[in-house]
A and B are shown apart, each in its own frame.
Chain A
């Protein structure tokens, strides 16, 4: 290899290692990915930072402990003439190596507690989306946005056709061929993604329709279980527009591995356009005289599409 070639291959390896370990905001998982990514929300760096800090602490402790072991295995070998010492206890050192770990743990606990309390606070949300897990697909219902209820924007979201055909036993089809542009999306794509605006605190209310599922988009930094009979809540405020992919994260039956999640985050203007189109789509299907009963609990009942509604239509 030429010297230039060595330098180039070293650079390539270093880049790969850095990219693998660095917190680049991947939309997808990357091959040989070594670490989680920082995510794209105002909170998602919390798990990322805790992961890196705790890993660092563990690596240091590991070097000290395993280092001592390897030194001992070399120095205190009978074949090297080592003679065993007689001592077998030392209260002082026991106290020291009990106290130091406690201090390290208190530090980690302090960092983690702050991150947890900020996550738990869903107040002040500007949007609510209801997520329901089913065997084996998700349902998304838009409840309200910027103080106004959204009616009849809800849909099922299931594994895309190409992935579904490819994953059949003995299909002979190539998972690497399932792509959207350059992205490999095998088992990470759906027919109808969840579309949301950026720079908006979105409250997700999550439940299950049959068995327990779990809704997880790594780019948001959290997962929450979708449990029948319970409504869990979580929030996210996405900063970067893009497409974010996730999966069901709790064993829910035979197709647990085949009910992915796709979240498309658009600018607020683009989202408003999308939402209006969705509402327009669902409105003409019902006669204007019929009062749609919105699922939302928002106060203002007026909705944009009852254009020519006669006075008889009463919303409630």
Chain B
């Protein structure tokens, strides 16, 4: 049964639009838009990765061999901006776009045209931001945090702020779409507490996005007016305060890092139960933990500012609130382990990445707990200890979750199995080299190496060389991933079944592989025992 509305498209009755421009530029299909986001994110991952390679190449040995210090600063600034706003966030949006409608039995996202706009803003925003590298004076080079007064010293500020505004609009519209879809388009019988954890994680993340992206927009607009329109928000001589920016930025910035991990938690809670052939342990606790983490993320921002001269009471409050986040996060880790306990596990590539996530993200969480202790943070702040912490939670955390999800769902997207041998090669290389890259950075920070420096005293040389070697090899390993993806999409002869994975449960596995262009045009009949969480007693 089709509705008259679906015949407005210039496609044949149940398939994709015929023309390239129509299908890809004018798409209103959540699967195609999801694919666009994922390909965009992968491209930006390699671009941001090449900036990281430049950084690690200069840091390979003491002395300056390859670039001027200012260019090094451009690299570290753009590396972060590209990875955060171009790789991790769009990848999670792509996964959400692809999977959420299928997981809840909806035909598409609630607002398909806005979905298209949300995506297509991004290539233009990044073209604008990356083009600043070619301006006289180069791109911004004061760190992705853009603290004033330093960030006002560049001529690339206006372009970068405009690009950030575009990215923010994209995210806000995407978040609205997610909330509208999840709250309104669930098939009858798909109650909120029967939804996959991944859907819950995106519902909560969407609220975080709507809450904080406008705050970032405010902060960068004030930078713009301070530089060009004579305001003094952050200029003490005019009655303002540079620390005000830091409060506003980090009020966005801290929820932002949770935006970058909560969908990852959702992914792990899908993958582990499938390959353990056992339901997620403590479903309600897992959902509640995600909500608690999201709430707490709003009241900890000043832990990024422990050395600016906050009043003692503020330092104590933010220390306690930050430590508190360890509780719901710990509950999630314990529940993942409890899912594995007493299970019947197999170790295909998605499961390998998911298990590595649990171990290595937890290590990142440990260094985070250490950072929360203010007197200790006086020594850790702005050193490589912090760099190690956030790379553990973002690379072995968010990125590994995205990679796990890709291996997990790509048979559904393409209808083909990827090469399990090359997937495992990718895994083992990634997990070994990522640790060679980032673990020594803990030691560098403890020994006293500050961050964001292009050169260092010879005492730091040994671990820097080891870290750089890990970096080059980790970067090279990602080319294996690229090969696996291309082979799977275009060359693999190994067809995937509908269910793909023996232990997989949920509506998305009742659809053929590859998923047809339109699915659930008619709401499915929900059988609780087919859902992963149809029968929740806790």
Taking Cβ atoms with an 8 Å cutoff, the residues of A that contact B are: 28-36, 46-47, 50-51, 54-55, 58, 61-62, 65-66, 68-69, 72-73, 76-79, 82-85, 87-91, 93-94, 97-98, 101-102, 105, 108-109, 111-113, 115-117, 119-120, 166-171, 173-176, 184-188, 210-212, 214, 216, 218, 221-225, 227-230, 232, 246-258
Chain B residues near A83 (CB-CB < 8 A): 344
B516 at the A/B interface (Cβ < 8 Å)? no
Q: Which of B320, B342, B374, B447 has the most CB of A within 10 A?
A: B447
B452 interface contact, C-beta 8 A = yes
Residue in contact with A72 in the complex, picked from B337, B363, B458, CB distance below 8 Å: B337
Residue of chain B at shortest CB distance from A34: B443
Interface residues of B in 342-399 (CB under 8 A from A): 342-347, 355, 358-359, 362-363, 366, 369-370, 373-376, 378-379, 381-383
* Contact in complex: B359, A69 (CB < 8 Å): yes
A65 touches B334 (CB 8 A): yes
Minimal beta-carbon separation of B243 from chain A (angstroms)? 7
Given A65-B334, A223-B307: A105 touches B327 (CB 8 Å cut-off): yes
Cβ of B483 within 8 Å of any chain A Cβ, yes or no, is no
State which of B63, B330, B346, B347 has its C-beta within 8 Å of the C-beta of A167: B63
Residues of A close to B448: CB separation below 8 A: 29, 36, 218, 246-247
Contact of B459 among A30, A82, A230 (CB under 8 A): A30
Find out whether the CB atom of A227 lies under 8 angstroms from the CB atom of B243.
yes
Residues of A contacting B324 in the complex (Cβ-Cβ under 8 angstroms): 105
Query: Is the beta-carbon distance between A168 and B64 smaller than 8 angstroms?
Result: yes
Residue total for B at the interface (Cβ-Cβ under 8 A)? 100
Q: Indicate which residue in B362, B378, B382 contacts A65 across the interface (CB closer than 8 Å).
A: B362
- A168 to B451: give the CA distance in the assembly, Å: 20
Q: A interface, by DSSP: helix, strand, loop or mixed?
A: mixed
Contacts beyond the supplied A211-B153, A222-B378: 16 A-B pairs with Cβ under 8 Å: A30-B447, A33-B443, A34-B447, A97-B330, A105-B327, A116-B374, A167-B63, A173-B63, A174-B63, A187-B455, A223-B381, A229-B240, A230-B241, A253-B73, A257-B455, A257-B456
Within 8 Å CB of A232, what residues of B? 308-309
Which residue from chain B places its CB closest to the CB of A79 in the assembled complex? B346
Q: Which residues does chain A contribute within 8 Å of B276, judged by CB atoms? A: 76, 84
In chain B, positions 275-299 with a C-beta closer than 8 Å to chain A are: 276-285
C-alpha gap A141/B347 in the complex (Å): 64
> Does B149 lie at the interface of the complex (its beta carbon under 8 Å from any beta carbon of A)?
yes
B273 CB to closest chain A CB, in angstroms? 9
A85 touching B309, Cβ below 8 Å:
no
If the complex has contacts A82-B345, A254-B70, A257-B454, are A166 and B378 also in contact, measured as CB distance less than 8 A?
no
Q: Does B226 contact A (CB under 8 A)?
A: no
Asked whether A229 lies within 8 Å of B242 as measured between CB atoms, the reply is: yes
